[in-house]
Amino acid sequence: MPLLADLARCRGCLGSLGTGAVAGLCARCWSLLVPLPEERCPLCAQPHGGGEACADPVAWAWGDALWDYHAGLGPLLVPGIKRGELGWLRALLGRAEGASLPPWAGGYDLVCPVPTSGLRRWWRGFDLAEQAAELVARRLGIAFRRVLRKPLLARAQTGLPRSQRQRMGAQVTLRAGQGVRGAAVLVVDDVWTTGTTFLRCAGALDREGAREVAVLALFRAGRRSG
C-alpha cells in the first residue's frame, strides 16, 4: 500500500514529492534557487559590459543579491510567503543561511532592513526583508538595527497632484533616535527589481550623514532575466 506522502504532489512542479521535499516542494524545485551570473556588475548586480552604464540608477558602493528571481523559484516563493506560507519562509531562510554572502559585506557597521509600512507588516505578521536583514547581520556578526521608517499613510496627500503624491509616498526617513552619522550601512531587501526602494533608503541614509551605503537582496529580478 503506498504511503500518503508518495501520492502527494509537489506544489511547484506537480511532480511527485520524493525524498528531500520541504514544505510541499520537491528537492528538484528547491534546487532552483539559482545564483546570479558570475559576470555581474558590482553595483546593480546585473550582467552588463564593464563599459556600459547600469540600466537603473545606483547610489551605493556595492550591490548584490543571493539568487536570481526569475530564473528560479522566486515568482512562486515570494508571493506565497507574502500570503503567509510560513513553511516556505522557514525553508527559504534556511537556504539563506548556507548561501554565500558577498565578500565586501563584512566591512559594514550595521545592517538595516528596507522598511515596510507598519500596516502591511501587521497584516502579514512578519516582514521578509526584516527577517533577511536579521539573518545577514547575525551571519556577519554585525549589528542589526531598524534605522529606517516608511510613513504608515501620508495624511495630507489627498487633493495633491498624482506626481506629488507619489513623491510624498516615496518618503523614507530615519526613525527617531537612530543616528547613522559616520556609519557604513548595509541595507537589505527581499526582492530588488528597479532599485527605487534602495535609492530612497540610500538617499535617507546619505542625508543623515552615513559614510557609506551598500545594498543586498535575497533575490534580484532584473530587466534582462524578465
Q: Among 48-56, 65-73, 98-106, 166-174, which window interacts with Zn ion (CB under 5 A)?
A: 48-56
CA distance 100 to 98: 6
x/- mask, Zn ion, residues 15-34, rule CB under 5 A, reads -----------x--x-----
* # chain residues binding Zn ion, by CB under 5 A: 9
- Dump the DSSP string for 125-139: SS-HHHHHHHHHHHH
| Secondary structure of residue 210 in the 3-state scheme | coil
Name the minimum Å distance from CB 49 to Zn ion: 10
Q: Quick one: which of 36, 43, 77, 216 contacts Zn ion (CB under 5 A)?
A: 43
Name the minimum Å distance from CB 226 to Zn ion: 16
Question: How do beta strands 184-192 and 110-113 pair?
Answer: parallel
Nearest alpha carbon to residue 203 among 157, 167, 176: 167
Q: Applying CB under 5 A, does 13 fall inside the site for Zn ion?
A: yes
Q: With respect to Zn ion, which residue has the nearer C-beta, 148 or 217?
A: 217
Q: Applying CB under 5 A, does 199 fall inside the site for Zn ion?
A: no
Nearest alpha carbon to residue 130 among 140, 115, 142: 115
Question: How do beta strands 148-149 and 173-174 pair?
Answer: antiparallel
Q: Among 50-58, 112-120, 190-198, 218-226, which window interacts with Zn ion (CB under 5 A)?
A: 50-58
Q: Applying CB under 5 A, does 54 fall inside the site for Zn ion?
A: yes
Question: How do beta strands 110-113 and 143-144 pair?
Answer: parallel
Q: Quick one: which of 33, 41, 183, 201 contacts Zn ion (CB under 5 A)?
A: 41
The DSSP symbol for 220 reads E
Name the minimum Å distance from CB 156 to Zn ion: 37
Q: With respect to Zn ion, which residue has the nearer C-beta, 57 or 182?
A: 57
Q: Quick one: which of 12, 74, 80, 115 contacts Zn ion (CB under 5 A)?
A: 12
**Alpha helix segments (H runs only) across the chain:** 4-7, 27-30, 74-82, 86-98, 118-124, 128-140, 162-169, 196-207
110 in Cβ contact with 143 (< 8 Å): yes
Name the minimum Å distance from CB 88 to Zn ion: 13
Name the minimum Å distance from CB 71 to Zn ion: 16
Q: Which residues of this protein are in contact with Zn ion, per CB under 5 A?
A: 10, 12-13, 26, 29, 41, 43-44, 54
